[in-house]
């Protein structure tokens, strides 16, 4: 840690303003080159507390940069986490407004709904045992940094680009399906724009949840029962614009459809 509490608070306000007004900012490390990953999570925590103080509720967490296609796309080689609030949730088959985002991109992800609390260093099997069900999901990310360009510290402070998320499709019990071999096809306006398989996510998406629980532990937090957890994009993220329709198909798990508006 290199930044004092005043700097952390100031950076959280800078990020919150960029998120609220959809105005791009320089990456935080341009002004604070000594910023560490621990500092970045302190900014993220300050941001979370601020949203909670405004009445938003944390309903889950997301892992990000957990697949090679994502790491290559963003030029970052380590995964991270972010929080999800009720204000970010959108129903499937709805029209999602993009006017309040800067440069949104869509991702196909396997989501876990937790039946039991998890904390500390946990194994893949412990994650699966604590999972009530898994479900297809789509995440809409929106980096607050100019040109969608950042480093690990900046993106973590920006809550890992979290913007919106949609759960849908057919929920499955974790024991009823091989979580490594779920094929995904993303169609944008009827064209296939991204193809993948779930093993891209750290070899097994439950390992991304284990990573996330470990990071939470370092932040002094646990993953509560009932949490909605996204394990990270399987493929590179795809830019979306008003008027687009998106269908994310998941092998043996149905699909998630949304349309985008102004
Ligand atoms: C960071 C967030 C990455 C994922 O699923 O990999 C993410 C970014 O790429 O902007 O949500
Ligand atoms: Mg994501």
231-251 per-position pLDDT tens digit: 999 999 999 999 999 999 999
CB 205 within 8 A of CB 128: no
Question: Once rounded to an integer, what is the mean pLDDT over residues 163-184?
Answer: 97
* pLDDT-based confidence at residue 95 (cuts at 50, 70, 90): very high
CA distance linking residue 77 with residue 79, whole number of Å: 7
65 lines ligand 1 (CB under 6 A): yes
Q: Which of 60, 68, 70 to mutate to test the pocket of ligand 1 (most atoms within 8 A of CB)?
A: 70
CA distance linking residue 137 with residue 75, whole number of Å: 24
User: Residue 1 above 90 pLDDT?
Assistant: no
What is the 117 CA–ligand 2 centroid distance (Å)?
22
What residue owns the CA closest to ligand 1's atom 10? 161
- Using one digit for the tens of pLDDT, what is the confidence trace for 9-27? 999 999 999 999 999 999 9
Q: Which ligand is nearest to the CA of 158?
A: 1
42 lines ligand 1 (CB under 6 A): no
User: Residue 111 above 80 pLDDT?
Assistant: yes
- Using one digit for the tens of pLDDT, what is the confidence trace for 189-198? 999 999 999 9
Query: To which residue do tokens 């898994």 refer?
Result: 134
Q: Does domain 5-261 have CATH number 3.90.850.10?
A: yes
Q: Residue 69 has what pLDDT?
A: 96
What is the 141 CA–ligand 1 centroid distance (Å)?
7
**pTM of the predicted protein model:** 0.98
Q: Residue 245 has what pLDDT?
A: 98
144 lines ligand 1 (CB under 6 A): no
- CA geometry: angle at 6 spanning 5 and 7, to 5°? 90
User: Residue 45 above 90 pLDDT?
Assistant: yes
Q: Which atom of ligand 1 is nearest to the CA of 150?
A: 10
Task: Work out the mean pLDDT of the chain and round it to a whole number.
Answer: 97
134 lines ligand 1 (CB under 6 A): no
Hey, what are 197's tokens?
């398989």
Q: Residue 156 has what pLDDT?
A: 98
Max Cα-Cα span within the chain = 50
């Amino acid at each position: 840690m290199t930044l004092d509490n005043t700097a952390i608070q100031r950076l959280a306000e800078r990020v919150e303003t960029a998120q609220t007004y959809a105005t791009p900012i320089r990456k935080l490390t341009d002004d604070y080159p000594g910023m560490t990953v621990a500092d970045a999570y302190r900014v993220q925590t300050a941001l979370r507390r601020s949203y909670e103080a405004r009445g938003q509720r944390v309903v889950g967490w997301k892992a990000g940069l957990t697949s090679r296609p994502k790491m290559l796309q963003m030029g970052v080689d380590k995964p991270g986490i972010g929080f999800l609030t009720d204000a970010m949730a959108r129903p499937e088959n709805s029209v999602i407004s993009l006017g309040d985002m800067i440069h949104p991109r869509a991702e196909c992800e396997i989501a876990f709904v937790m039946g039991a609390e998890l904390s500390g260093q946990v194994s893949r099997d412990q994650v699966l045992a604590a999972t009530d069900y898994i479900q297809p999901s789509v995440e809409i990310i929106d980096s607050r940094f100019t040109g969608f360009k950042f480093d690990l510290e900046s993106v973590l402070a920006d809550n890992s680009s979290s913007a919106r998320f949609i759960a849908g499709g057919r929920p499955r019990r974790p024991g009823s399906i091989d979580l490594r071999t779920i094929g995904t096809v993303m169609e944008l306006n009827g064209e296939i724009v991204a193809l993948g398989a779930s093993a891209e996510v750290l070899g097994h998406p439950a390992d991304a949840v284990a990573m996330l629980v470990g990071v939470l532990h370092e932040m002094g937090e646990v993953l509560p029962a009932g949490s909605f957890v996204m394990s990270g994009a399987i493929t590179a993220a795809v830019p979306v614009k008003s008027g687009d329709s998106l269908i994310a198909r998941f092998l043996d798990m149905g699909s998630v459809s949304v349309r985008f508006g102004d």
